[in-house]
Structure 1
Amino acid sequence: MTERLAEGDPAPDFTLPDADGKPVSLADYRGRKVIVYFYPAASTPGCTKQACDFRDNLAELGDAGLDVVGISPDKPAKLAKFRDAQDLTFPLLSDPDREVLQAWGAFGEKTMYGKKVTGVIRSTFLVDEEGKIEKAMYNVRATGHVAKLRKDLKV
């Protein structure tokens, strides 16, 4: 099991390719708060619901000074199809080696349909302007998560 991050921890830095293969770094967001969320697979029902919830709430999150970045093990070409099919307007990043997923504690053993499996742990983090973890949420639900996040953040 990878170690989980907690509030106050420095957010592990990363540079990953987006859906177009362009490198995006956590450092690009210094000076702004950013929601970094990890999801198992593009174009699956739960991940589509979650991504569309972020898309539909992006204006309000942006008005509150929050950017959004999604990370999965999918290759950029699959992310581009997902982005285009769902009209997603925030960066989707590719971590096929799962190094960033592991650094953030978002990959490891989880229970799925009553069985223990190893995979992506659906997780969401709020990173502050200085690059520290302000909020760490593991095993979040795809449906209703963005509404709960907005309520918790008073957005």
Structure 2
Amino acid sequence: MAEKQVLQEGDVAPDFSMPASRDRHVSLTDLKGKPFVLYFYPKADTPGCTKEACGFNESLKQFEGAGLTVIGVSRDPVKKLDAFADKYDLTFPLASDDTGAVTEAYGVWGEKSLYGKTYMGIDRTTFLVGADGKIARIWHKVKVPGHIEAVLEATQKL
């Protein structure tokens, strides 16, 4: 396995191109010159991921008002993301990194442990990328309560 990528604020956001919920496609090329939020979550329709997705969805007008696109990323297949989006009426794109290339490029795929068992998974991480294509802020090991507000606050500084 390749060494884990470690991105830092100020780095250029790694390229991506992924299928997304509701017959959409998201790519860095399409976002060129526009700021965006790219958040990585472990698994669709699980409690923490649902709270986070619903939180972003509820604040979507504020993000859009600041000129930002919000994109959620997991390794779930598009079919599962469509069901998740439909169940909670999530209107922003949920992208499927089914190859794992994007989660690895952003350094969010790693060893995790739960109840003494170790496994590979996505570390809940959010990237705020400026219109210049550079990472303005990174939140690692995100705890959902208060996170959306922190991201919204950081968008004011772009």
TM over 0.5: yes
- SS at 1:146's partner residue? helix
Query: Offset of 1:143 from its aligned partner?
Result: 2.9
- Contact 1:46/1:143, CA 8 A, preserved across alignment: no
RMSD of Structure 2 on Structure 1 (CA)? 1.8
Query: Offset of 1:21 from its aligned partner?
Result: 4.6
Amino acid at match of 2:97: D
Where does residue 145 of structure 1 map in the other structure?
147
CA deviation profile, 1:9-38 (whole Å, cap 9, x unmatched): 111111101124543212211121100000
Task: List structure 1 runs of 4+ shifted beyond 6 angstroms.
Answer: none
Where does residue 2 of structure 1 map in the other structure?
4
Matched positions, count: 155
Distance 1:73 1:143 in 2: 23
Where does residue 27 of structure 1 map in the other structure?
29
- SS at 1:130's partner residue? coil
1:23-62 mapped onto 2 (5 Å cutoff): 23-62=25-64
**Equivalent residue in structure 1 for 2:74, among 72, 75, 85:** 72
Distance 1:148 1:135 in 2: 11
> Within the alignment, does 1:96 sit opposite 2:74 as a pair?
no
Counting aligned pairs with the same residue, the percent is: 45
TM-score normalised by the chain length of structure 2: 0.90
Aligned CA distance change for structure 1 residues 40 and 19 (closer, same or farther; 3 Å) = same
Aligned CA distance change for structure 1 residues 7 and 75 (closer, same or farther; 3 Å) = same
- SS at 2:92's partner residue? coil
> Within the alignment, does 1:17 sit opposite 2:19 as a pair?
yes
Which shows bigger deviation, 145-154 or 118-127? Answer: 145-154
Aligned CA distance change for structure 1 residues 81 and 53 (closer, same or farther; 3 Å) = same
Which shows bigger deviation, 33-42 or 138-147? Answer: 138-147
Aligned CA distance change for structure 1 residues 16 and 119 (closer, same or farther; 3 Å) = same
TM-score normalised by the chain length of structure 1: 0.91
- SS at 2:71's partner residue? strand
1:104-143 mapped onto 2 (5 Å cutoff): 104-113=106-115, 116-143=118-145
